Amino acid sequence: MEYYKHDVIVIGAGPVGSYTAFLLARKGINVGLFEKNETIGENVNCSGIISKECYDRFSLPERSVIRPVKKIKAYSPSGNYIQYNSEYPLAYIVDRSSFDKEINKRANNSGVTTYLGSKVKYIGNTQKSFCIRVVSKNSEEEFNSRVGIIATGFEFNNLFLNRTKFKDFLFGVQTEVDFENNDNVEVFLGKNIAPGSFSWVIPSVKGYAKIGMLVKSRPVDCLKNFLNSHLISPRVKSWDGVMKCSPVPIKPIQKTYYERTLIVGEAAGQVKATTGGGIYFGLICAEIAAQTVINSFKNNNFTEEYLKVYENKWKKILSTELKAGLILRNIFSKLSDRQIDKLLDLAKRDGIMPIIKNSGFDWHKEIIYYMINHLMPKNIFKS
């Protein structure tokens, strides 16, 4: 009989990997969690907006919350804006580094062994085991387990026998500045601001704001232009010039299950194409992945055929939502500034706000189809 140091190997101690590991360990499964960085939450690039719905559903760590989000303002290219105010928090702005650490702490407290500074450089799977080769400071070691979960974020590209290559992705570029007093989350639209996408200002710790954007190309130049624009420049008190930039997939990968293997979170492309947000959908999929693995241990069945249920389940919940997001992104990227202006103006006058209020922070399908069916036909495409 094979000896396994761990029943399950999870690769990547981001929120999705640590949460999956936590759910498995809580059920008595022996989990080894491998993280390439020396500390959890090191050098993360994220705005840290997580909906209240997500926070409540997964009992996420309150001590990582910086502030609630109650006001959102979206600016059209001409400077018009639409504002949404809520009495109650719609979402929270969190310190992502602390957030990742807290979730990992929960995993470790439930019995997970986290290996820090342990970069997985090879992943393999056979009918007999899941196997990884890990490089740490002084050594290179091989680990086997019954099942493996890949939660490496975008870095999954090419790691697993070249099976996956993200073709559809954008760049998320962001910086933190000493900013004017502001408690709104602000979104800016326009070809000259964030071509085909949007940029944001998000208040963070007192007096600071995260300013960033999602774009297809030239992320650093686009962000510099935005910071120097009349919209932002007069409001910035000081800036250290440091920017972080990372790719964000906007479409799920072809297949998220293999023999003894599941792929979860950003690594699987379980990300909203509209905003690039991946934490909520990643955690939903983590829950489904953990339940699938728990069942596979009960039935002693780790075959690809058995694990397929994971993909069926997450697609049932998220597929139409993800597709709607992509449709909107494709339409939006083709609109001129004039058309975006018209769209925002129509949205303002044409009753889209009640739909936004009812849809919730994370579920955009209804708003997207409303816009396509109701607002778009109103001469939006005539420039």
Ligand X SMILES: Cc1cc2nc3c(=O)[nH]c(=O)nc-3n(C[C@H](O)[C@H](O)[C@H](O)COP(=O)(O)OP(=O)(O)OC[C@H]3O[C@@H](n4cnc5c(N)ncnc54)[C@H](O)[C@@H]3O)c2cc1C
Residue 189 or 202: the one with the smaller Cβ distance to ligand X is: 202
For residue 197, what are the contacts with CB-CB under 8 A and spacing of at least 6? 170, 213, 214, 215, 216, 329, 332, 333
Residue 214 or 328: the one with the smaller Cβ distance to ligand X is: 214
- For residues 337 and 195, the answer to whether their CB atoms sit within 8 Å is no
Residue 29: exposure state from Cβ atoms within 10 A (0-12, 13-18, ≥19)? buried
Rounded to an integer, what distance in angstroms lies between the CA atom of residue 369 and that of residue 364?
9
Residue 184 or 339: the one with the smaller Cβ distance to ligand X is: 184
For the CB of residue 201, give the shortest distance to ligand X in the complex, in Å: 13
Residue 29 or 264: the one with the smaller Cβ distance to ligand X is: 264
For the CB of residue 125, give the shortest distance to ligand X in the complex, in Å: 16
For the stretch 41-70, what's the b/e string if a residue is b when 16 or more beta carbons lie within 10 angstroms of its beta carbon? beebebbbbbbbebbeebebbeebbbebbb
Integer angstrom CA distances of residue 161 from 168, 255, 260, 261? 20, 14, 14, 13
Hey, what are 11's tokens?
């690769």
- Contacts with ligand X, residue ranges (CB under 6 A): 11-17, 34-37, 45-50, 119-120, 151-153, 155, 159, 172, 174, 212, 246, 248, 265-267, 271, 276-280, 282
For the CB of residue 234, give the shortest distance to ligand X in the complex, in Å: 24
For the CB of residue 53, give the shortest distance to ligand X in the complex, in Å: 12
- For residues 129 and 29, the answer to whether their CB atoms sit within 8 Å is no
Rounded to an integer, what distance in angstroms lies between the CA atom of residue 23 and that of residue 12?
15
Hey, what are 370's tokens?
């409303």
For the CB of residue 306, give the shortest distance to ligand X in the complex, in Å: 23
For the CB of residue 128, give the shortest distance to ligand X in the complex, in Å: 22
For the CB of residue 154, give the shortest distance to ligand X in the complex, in Å: 6
Residue 152 or 261: the one with the smaller Cβ distance to ligand X is: 152
Residue 256 or 339: the one with the smaller Cβ distance to ligand X is: 256
Residue 15 or 77: the one with the smaller Cβ distance to ligand X is: 15
Rounded to an integer, what distance in angstroms lies between the CA atom of residue 334 and that of residue 340?
10
